[in-house]
């Protein structure tokens, strides 16, 4: 099990990025959340199997068709098993 906090930079708001992350995280069986930040970035917290985390990180580097991802920062954290599902925070 692994837990990572991710910050995605570029044109990532107003392009369906949160829903893209949500749908893919759910499909991969990950737990956590995704949200827009006021600085124009998207932040996500993922918990799950190492291989599934690798997959979602690769997807975050691409994003949905209208997104232009410039950079993805990943910070590993201690697994807390505090989530039951994956959700979009507003």
Give me the active site residues, please.
18, 36
Please count the helices (runs of H) and the strands (runs of E) in the chain: 2, 5
**CA geometry: angle 2, 7, 65, nearest 5 deg:** 105
Sequence-ordered list of residues with C-beta below 8 angstroms from that of 58, at least 6 positions apart, any chain: none
């Amino acid at each position: 099990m692994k837990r990572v906090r991710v910050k995605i930079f570029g044109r990532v708001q107003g392009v369906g990025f949160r829903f893209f992350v949500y749908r893919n995280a759910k499909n991969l069986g990950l737990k956590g959340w995704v949200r827009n930040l006021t600085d124009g970035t998207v932040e996500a917290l993922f918990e799950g199997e190492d291989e599934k985390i690798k997959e979602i990180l690769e997807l975050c580097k691409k994003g949905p068709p209208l997104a232009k991802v410039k950079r993805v920062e990943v910070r590993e954290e201690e697994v807390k098993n505090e989530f039951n599902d994956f959700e979009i925070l507003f």
